Amino acid sequence: MRRVTVYDTTLRDGAQTEGISYSVNDKILIARKLDELGMDFIEGGWPGSNPKDMEFFQAISKERLKKAKIAAFGSTRRKDKTASKDANIKALVDCGVKFVTIFGKAWDLHVKDVLKVSLDENLKMIADTVSYLVSKKISVFFDAEHFFDGYRSNPDYALKALLSAQGAGAAGVVLCDTNGGTLTSELTRIISEIRPHIKGELGIHVHNDNAMAVANSVAAVQAGCTQVQGTINGYGERCGNADLCAIIACLRLKLEIDCLGKDNLKELTEVSLYVSEISNMKQQDNQPFVGSSAFAHKAGVHINAMLKNPMSYEHVRPEAVGNKRRFLTSELAGKTSILFKAKQLSYDLQKNDKNTKRLHKLIQKMEYEGYQFEAAEASFELLIRKTLEKYEKFFELEGFRVIVEKRRDNTLISEATVKINVHGARKHTASEGDGPVNALDAALRKALRDFYPELTRMHLSDFKVRVLDSKAGTAAKVRVFIESQDEKSSWWTVGVSENIIEASWQALVDSIEYKLLKERTIKKQAL
């Protein structure tokens, strides 16, 4: 089986995503996770550019990684200094890694207009930098920046840039589509022309500005590249880098190319979610292979076919990448999705069963009123349990009140009071919050925590509101979605009302009841 090495640059290129800022601890946590996944190389950052990256290399050197090799990133030496006298090159040597990736100019436009040196001087900068690092017993990969643009402009010179690095002892050269605008057909043609000249590793590093980064990366491997670079979830500057989650899945499942290891592929979805959580970036639902909608089916015809043969509407098994199949519930899905969900909950329903018909009509009625269960599966599960009369309420509401006060200094104070009854025991609590929903959530969980201490291990992670009929103005119904999360998973619940506080309350209660129900189920399974 052909082998391709995977080089992750989430901690460096991915950190350039708008909205992402990793702490040193964040980078250590992600590096550990990538190592567990089986990543070949993890690029930790640019030690010559900022103190944080240097601190990371010091910290990661104390970690006992299983497989991954840590690489540092930097540029060729300055035009007015030798490599041995360049402070940035010295920082690369001092950071203590055995692998360094150096980027240099392969496009004559950049050499003339950005570096403002002669073409020959740029080649000397490349060779001097690589040979100096190699003399320090460091393996060097040369990232040929803007290679495909450069090859279009001046193919002879772009090739000379590669050969300068190779001649100086580089372990491999990497072809970079830095502007991310190269079409697949052109990319593979250029690689086929370059491949015969390269003795060591040939890598590919693609950006996603024309939405073809994954396709170009996979095609590059097919054309002869032996190393593929990218980031988890496609994080990166502008439109992002090539998404390694999709690339790895394609190489392994479609081309049967050895990368990471077959068993490790099952961890792909977990790693994607883990990195998105630390990055404080919501994972895209429709992200191929690892997104929550990647194997979600909504249309009744699709669901019916899937129950007969999963290959009818899925190109790979979701379990292969650690994901799961979902059948969405809506007025479009018919009774099939109800039967499937009920079966997952150990309820034996038949298509013509009176409970199935009752549930189907209830869902249609509620969706007509504004509910949407395809995006709130926790509320849907509770609805099934309540409808089938196999559900015990955890608490009863006696009343709640929410006050929002604006003070003279323009500060806003939200306060909520809640009265509940838990199997005969009454509780009355109050809490302040950043807003009325936050205050209401805090008051409710404060009232319940003595009875259900497991609620301290969950929190609200997202809150969405949609006006269902804008023409009705302030009398319009609103739909509220709430995402809750604990240490193991997340779930969505929904509420609908003309009053946004009431809609939020419905979704809040569902989120808490689902958590308690989940905990009870786990305890029963453990017995």
Give residue 28's pLDDT.
Answer: 95
The answer to whether 229 and 218 are in contact (CB under 8 A) is: no
User: Looking at residue 299, what is its pLDDT?
Assistant: 67
Residue 323 in any domain: the answer is: yes
Q: Clarify whether residues 72 and 192 are in a common domain.
A: yes
Confidence of residue 373 (pLDDT cuts 50, 70, 90): confident
Share of the chain above pLDDT 90, in %: 65
- Mean pLDDT throughout 481-496? 88
> Is the residue at 377 inside a domain?
no
Q: Are strands 478-485 and 490-497 parallel, antiparallel or unpaired?
A: antiparallel
Predicted local confidence at residue 283, as pLDDT: 83
- Per-residue pLDDT for 369 more than 90? no
Residue 334 — very low, low, confident or very high, per pLDDT cuts 50/70/90?
low
Last residue in a domain, options 278, 304, 320: 278
Q: Which of 34-38, 149-153, 514-518 has the lowest mean pLDDT?
A: 514-518
The whole-number average pLDDT for the span 221-242 is 97
Judged on CB neighbours under 10 Å (0-12, 13-18, 19+), 333 is buried
Q: What is the C-alpha separation between 449 and 472, in angstroms, rounded?
A: 39
Q: What is the pLDDT of residue 335?
A: 63
Give me the pLDDT at residue 507, please.
95
Q: Per the domain annotation, does 219 fall within a domain?
A: yes
**Least-confidence region, from 59-63, 308-312, 377-381, 459-463:** 308-312
Contacts of 94 by beta carbon, 8 Å cutoff, 6+ apart: 47
What secondary structure does DSSP assign to 16-32, as a single string?
GSTT----HHHHHHHHH
| Confidence (pLDDT) at 345 | 67
pLDDT bin (cut points 50, 70, 90) of residue 527 is low
Flag whether pLDDT at 393 surpasses 70. Answer: yes
* Matching residue, tokens 């592929």: 265
Average pLDDT over residues 411-425: 93
Residue 123 · residue 161 · CB < 8 Å: yes
Q: Of 170-179, 348-357, 408-417, 443-452, which gets the smallest average pLDDT?
A: 348-357
Least confident of 52-66, 87-101, 190-204, 328-342: 328-342
In the listed set 352, 369, 386, which residue is the last one of a domain according to the structure?
369
Are 166 and 208 part of one and the same domain? yes
* Average pLDDT rounded to a whole number, residues 108-119: 94
Neighbours of 222 (CB within 10 A): 13
Task: Give the number of other CB atoms < 10 A from CB of residue 459.
Answer: 11
Q: Final residue of a domain: which of 333, 354, 369?
A: 369
Looking at the fold, whether 361 and 214 belong to one and the same domain comes out as no
Residue with tokens 């403002």: 116
The pLDDT value given to residue 349: 74
Domain identity same for 95 and 197: yes
Alpha carbons 9 and 233: distance in angstroms, whole number? 11
**Per-residue confidence (pLDDT) for residue 525, from 0 to 100:** 67
Residue 443: CATH number of its domain: 3.30.160.270
Q: Band of the pLDDT at 360, cuts 50, 70, 90? A: confident
In a domain, 80, yes or no: yes
Q: Which range (63-72, 182-191, 458-467) has the least confidence?
A: 458-467
Same domain for 316 and 424, yes or no, is no
Are 189 and 312 within one domain? no
Rounded average pLDDT over 319-336: 71
**pLDDT number for residue 97:** 96
CA 347 from chain centre, in angstroms, equals: 34
Q: How confident is the model at residue 300 (pLDDT cuts 50, 70, 90)?
A: low
Q: CA 248, CA 367: separation in Å to the nearest integer?
A: 39
Does 58 reside within a domain? yes
Q: Could you tell me if residue 379 is inside a domain?
A: no
What pTM was computed for the model?
0.71
pLDDT at 257: 94
437, 353: one domain: no
- pLDDT tens digit sequence for 458-479: 888 888 888 876 555 555 789 9
Mean pLDDT of 4-10: 98
pLDDT > 70: what percent of the chain? 93
For residues 414 and 435, the answer to whether their CB atoms sit within 8 Å is yes
* pLDDT tens digits, one per residue of 13-45: 999 999 999 999 999 999 999 999 999 999 999
Determine the structural domain holding residue 421 and report its residue range. Answer: 396-526
Pair 241, 230: CB distance under 8 Å: yes
Q: What is the mean pLDDT of residues 198-208?
A: 97
Q: What CATH number is attached to the domain comprising 12?
A: 3.20.20.70
Helix axis angle for 336-344 and 377-387, nearest 10°, is: 80
Number of folded domains in the chain? 3
283 inside domain: no
The answer to whether residues 258 and 347 belong to one domain is: no
Q: Is the same domain home to 362 and 422?
A: no
DSSP β-ladder status, 201-206 and 227-230? parallel
C-alpha 85/C-alpha 163 separation (Å) is 24
Indicate whether 98 and 153 sit together in one domain.
yes
Check residue 194 and report its DSSP letter. Answer: H
pLDDT reading at 47 higher than 80:
yes
Does the residue 290 lie in any domain?
Answer: no
Q: What is the pLDDT of residue 356?
A: 81
| pLDDT exceeds cutoff 90 at 521 | no
Choose the weakest-confidence range: 208-217, 240-249, 361-370, 471-480. Answer: 471-480
pLDDT of 391 over the 60 cut: yes
As a whole number, the mean pLDDT across the chain is: 90
The pLDDT of residue 310 is above 80? no
Residue 50 has pLDDT above 90, yes or no: no
Say if residue 357 is in the same domain as residue 474: no
Same domain, 139 and 214: yes
End-to-end CA distance of the chain: 45
pLDDT of 466: 84
Give the 3-state secondary structure percentages of the chain, helix then strand then coil, rounded to 5: 45, 20, 35
Is pLDDT of 115 > 80?
yes
